[in-house]
Amino acid sequence: MTNSKRHILNGYGNGQRLLAVLLLITVSLTTSCGGGLQSALNPAGPQSQHISQLWWFMLIVCTVVFVVVLGVTLVLLVKKAQGSPDELPERESAESQRRKAFIVVAATAATIVILGAFLVDSFLVGRGLTAALDRKQGVVIEVTGHQWWWEVRYPDVDASSIFTTANEIHIPVGVPVTFTLKASDVIHSFWVPNLHGKKDLIPGKVSTIWLQADKPGIYRGQCAEYCGHQHAHMALWIFAEPREQFDEWRRNQIQSAVKPASDSEKRGQQVFLTSTCVTCHTINGTSAGANIGPNLTHVASRNTIAAATLPNDRDHLASWVDDSQQIKPGNRMPPNKFRPEEMQALLDYLQSLK
């Protein structure tokens, strides 16, 4: 993007010229398209593939238009006629007026043609995105947005194999997955840039979006609609994995919680069931059944906790349980003060819930 006005600068001290050079370096540095596991420029599914093709097509055409317009502006600055500013303005010759009129009309026509191309291309890609694929063997997942975490529910024809998890979604590779999006409180926006664009979750409405991952891998998404204090830490992970690995994960999720083996884990379960945890969380197979907070039946099988903000290891779990307001101020989980041996037992138990 050449936006430094070369000849204006030479009239000034090198202070300005240094600034302009600095600008050029930084601009070229920034256009390096980083990979990243949450980037629209690194598509891993058919939808984001089409969108990124549309993006590159538009970027190139727009850059050309920008360079042309800016080039013309710079050229007219270089070629400006000399003359003192205070004499009265002269009238242009009719002939040069006519030539300029032709150029302006041509430029406008070019703009219309380019916009037409953009319109047609974006309409085709748009239709492609929402084309109804045969989703027979596809997977349906219900995602409900809460204030600052995602509740994920895998519905199924036979009721016994329906299960709920949170913030981490496993999907089979190469299979179209339909998300049914509902919001329980305010507007959120479900967005995994590597796979597809975003779709708002609006209370009182159900919106659907379907996407498909071609390459196995981990794709991070984040809530894109401002939803309150912890909008910044409301992320989710999508694990795209081969079908059999997905089915195996699914079978494990359907089971109810692992019985505590060691007596420390038993003590931990005792602590869980008799303290404030039971008022909000559910662990299938135990008497804890409140669904205000995320379902913890298989919390240890998840890589992250707190809406994909903290890695799921022992000390992060301890700091989160002890005082979550330090990490995500304003979130709905109150701090819980436990005695040290109770805390260790509780952690043992939670980490046993594979």
Partner 1 sequence: MVERSQNLPVDAYTEADEREIKELERVWACPPGIIGWFTDTDHKAIALRYVVTAFVFFLFGGIEAALMRIQLARPENHFLNPDLYNQVFTVHGTTMMFLFAVPIMTALGVYLVPLMVGARDVAFPRLNNYGYFVYLIGGILLYVSFILNTGPDAGWFAYVPLSGPGYSPGKRVDIWAQMITFTEISALCGAVVVIGTIFKMRAPGMSLHRLPLFVWAQLVTSFMIIFAMPAVMLASSFLASDRLIDTHFFNPAEGGDAILYQHMFWFFGHPEVYIIFIPALGFISSIVTTFARRRIFGYTAMVLSLIATAFLGFGLWVHHMFATPLPQLGQSFFTAASMMIAIPSGVQIFCWIATMWGAKLNIKTPLLFVLGFVAIFVLGGLTGVMLASVPLDLQIHDTFFVVAHLHYVLIGGSVFPLFGAFYYWIPKWTGRMLSERLGHWNFWLMFIGFNLVFFPMHQLGLQGMPRRVYTYLPNGGWGSLNLLASIGALILALGVAVFIVNFLWARRFGLIANANPWNADTLEWSLASPPPDYNFYRIPVVEGSNALWDRSAENPVVVGLSSTKRETLVTSVVDAVPELRYELPGPSIWPLLLALATAETFIVGIFTAWAFAIGAVLTFGVFIGWFFGDPNYENVAAKEPPQSEEPHRAPEVLRAENA
Partner 2 sequence: MLLLATGVLLSCKREQRQFEPPPSPAGNVVMSQLQPGAQRPEPPTQNPFEETAYGLSEGKRLFTQYNCSGCHANGGGSIGPPLMDEKWIYGSDPANIHSTILEGRPNGMPSFRYKIPDDQIWELSAYVRSLSGQIRKDIAPGRSDDMNVHRSEQRVEKKKPEQSFVPKGAEQP
CB of 41 to partner 1, least distance (A): 5
Partner whose binding site includes residue 83, from partner 2, partner 1, none (CB under 5 to 8 Å by kind)? partner 1
Residue 278 in the binding site for partner 1 (CB under 8 A): no
Cα 9 from Cα 57, distance rounded (Å): 34
Which runs of consecutive H residues, i.e. helices, occur in the chain? 6-9, 14-30, 46-78, 94-129, 243-254, 263-274, 277-280, 314-322, 324-327, 340-352
If the CB atoms of residues 55 and 338 are measured against partner 2, the closer one turns out to be 338
Residues 8-37 as x/- pattern, contact with partner 1 by CB under 8 A: x---x---x--xx-xx--xx--xx-xx-x-
If the CB atoms of residues 49 and 291 are measured against partner 2, the closer one turns out to be 291
Triad 187, 253, 278: Cα angle to 5°: 65
CB of 337 to partner 2, least distance (A): 9
Residues 275-334 that bind partner 2 (CB under 8 A): 275-276, 278-280, 292, 325, 329-330, 334
Residues 245-274 that bind partner 2 (CB under 8 A): 274
Cα 310 from Cα 327, distance rounded (Å): 9
CB of 319 to partner 2, least distance (A): 15
**φ, ψ for residue 26, nearest 5 deg:** -65, -40
Number of residues that bind partner 2 (CB under 8 A): 16
CB of 336 to partner 2, least distance (A): 7
The residue type of 10 is N
Please choose, from the candidates 288, 184, 176, 298, the residue with its C-alpha nearest in 3D space to the C-alpha of residue 240: 176
Beta-carbon contacts of 301 under 8 Å, excluding residues fewer than 6 positions away, are 249, 252, 253, 353, 354
Partner whose binding site includes residue 249, from partner 1, partner 2, none (CB under 5 to 8 Å by kind)? none
Please choose, from the candidates 287, 297, 296, 289, the residue with its C-alpha nearest in 3D space to the C-alpha of residue 257: 297
Residue 335 in the binding site for partner 2 (CB under 8 A): yes
Give the residue, chosen from 203, 242, 285, 311, that forms a contact with partner 2 under the rule CB under 8 A. Answer: 203
The residue type of 248 is E
Q: Interface with partner 2 by CB under 8 A: which residues?
A: 185, 203, 229, 274-276, 278-280, 292, 325, 329-330, 334-336
